[in-house]
Amino acid sequence: MKFKRILITLLLTSSLTACMGVKFSYNNLDWFVPWYLDDYLQLNDQQEDAFDAHLKVIWNWHRHNQLPQYSTLLNEIISDLDKQQVTLERLHYYGEQTNSFYHKVIHKALQEGLPLLQSLDEPQLKELYENFDETDQEFKEYFADNDLKQREKKQLKSINKTFKKWIGKLTKKQKRLLKAWTKETESTIELRIQYSEKVRLAFKQAMSGRKNTEQMRKQLLLLATQPGLLQSKELTDKRERNNQRFRQLLLDTLSTLSKKQQKKLRRKILSYAEDFSDLSVKTD
């Protein structure tokens, strides 16, 4: 099933990253990405060759142009931590930088992948849309099986695990902060499902006019980088409030770190910065 396949992919990638490091996972994207795509769409031989070629271009561009920027941002964070200059404003800046990285990848992916999308025939599009619908249905069922309390419990377990990974064993005060954040976070499940339906419809509309390259490119770019155009004001507002709550949680947690936790956090961030830097200079 598609949604479970996505979860398995994410878990596998996370496990590989944890066990073998960022370098192993990144250097094997040419295996992960086609495996993931194959669950949605069957390409013919010519399209597979084109996909491999496009992926190589995007991958090399990302390695040499984007990874150095990731490393730079992480080193900025380390500098802010060392100087005790992490503020809500700086946390917002880190988020904005991360969003800009995402937008650059989307631009490049569309630039390289548009011809492949335009080459899809009607049976392939039908298969793609059906798989999108199946994933969406499984997403709904996944959350329908869990009420609000169950979701909060799972979210709390997940956030505890994530923070422990970055700073080590949590204190009672830190656990209370995470529990309070979990309680305060506003659920967006139903609104995200509605938004997903609008996105699928907009994607179909863009693909229906795929003979017009520039129009299709603009539609897909807006779809990927301007979520506010389709998501409801209620969802936009909830997401922004949740983002603010999370930034506050990070700031509050930082103020509680022991010397040992500070050192672990610094080492962890530095490790990623060094990995990105090393990966960026790998020869093709």
Mean pLDDT score, 195-211: 89
Question: Three-state secondary structure along 178-194?
Answer: HHHHHHHCCCCHHHHHH
- Closest Cα partner for 215 from 197, 202, 227, 199? 202
pLDDT single digits (tens) 260-277: 999 999 999 999 999 999
Q: In the structure, what pLDDT confidence band is assigned to residue 144 with cuts at 50, 70 and 90?
A: low
Q: In the structure, what pLDDT confidence band is assigned to residue 19 with cuts at 50, 70 and 90?
A: very low
The whole-number pLDDT of residue 209 equals: 85
- Closest Cα partner for 113 from 102, 105, 124, 101? 105
For residues 14 and 8, give the distance between their C-alpha atoms in angstroms, rounded to a whole number: 10
Radius of gyration of the chain (CA): 21
The whole-number pLDDT of residue 18 equals: 47
pLDDT single digits (tens) 43-77: 999 999 999 999 999 999 999 999 999 999 999 99
User: Which of 31-35, 127-131, 175-179 has the least mean pLDDT?
Assistant: 31-35
For residues 229 and 242, give the distance between their C-alpha atoms in angstroms, rounded to a whole number: 19
10 Å CB burial of residue 216 (0-12, 13-18, 19+) is buried
Domain count, the chain: 1
* Cα distances (angstroms) measured from residue 222 to each of 58, 160, 191, 217, 218: 20, 35, 20, 9, 6
Q: In the structure, what pLDDT confidence band is assigned to residue 146 with cuts at 50, 70 and 90?
A: low
Mean pLDDT score, 75-90: 97
The whole-number pLDDT of residue 210 equals: 85
The whole-number pLDDT of residue 111 equals: 87
Mean pLDDT score, 144-170: 89
Residue 54 lies in domain: 2-280
pLDDT single digits (tens) 4-18: 343 333 444 444 444
